[in-house]
Amino acid sequence: MNKTLLLAASLFAAVSTPALADTAPQHTFTRDGDTYVYTTKQVANRTIISGRVLNTGDTFELAVRGNRVTGFTGRREVAFNVPAASARAVASTAN
């Protein structure tokens, strides 16, 4: 469970790197030896973060609304708060 929360929290602290893609720009970061690839998009008043862990193939989808994050990583449901500045930074990367 701690690794799941670390994954989700890391999305907000990571410096994203755009990769070449035909659709939405992909971002990547590595934490604790795992590489994460994800896209962001704006849907109504939420930012949706969707991606996968390259090492394991696990997928995740998180919705950021204000400073609240909810969603799934693998088959686990997650929900937590992030600092407002981090939430704004994630929202600014959305398409």
- CA 89 to CA 13: how far, in whole Å? 9
Which structure tokens are listed for 71? 């969603």
The pLDDT value recorded for residue 83 is 80
The pLDDT value recorded for residue 51 is 95
pTM: 0.68
- CA 34 to CA 9: how far, in whole Å? 14
Q: Which positions ≥6 away from 30 have C-beta within 8 Å?
A: 36
Low-confidence residues of the chain: pLDDT under 70: 1-23, 85-95
The 10s digit of each residue's pLDDT in 69-89 is: 999 998 899 999 988 766 666
> Which strands form 34-43's sheet, in the order they lie side by side?
27-31, 34-43, 46-53, 59-65, 68-73, 76-81
The pLDDT value recorded for residue 74 is 87
The pLDDT value recorded for residue 12 is 52
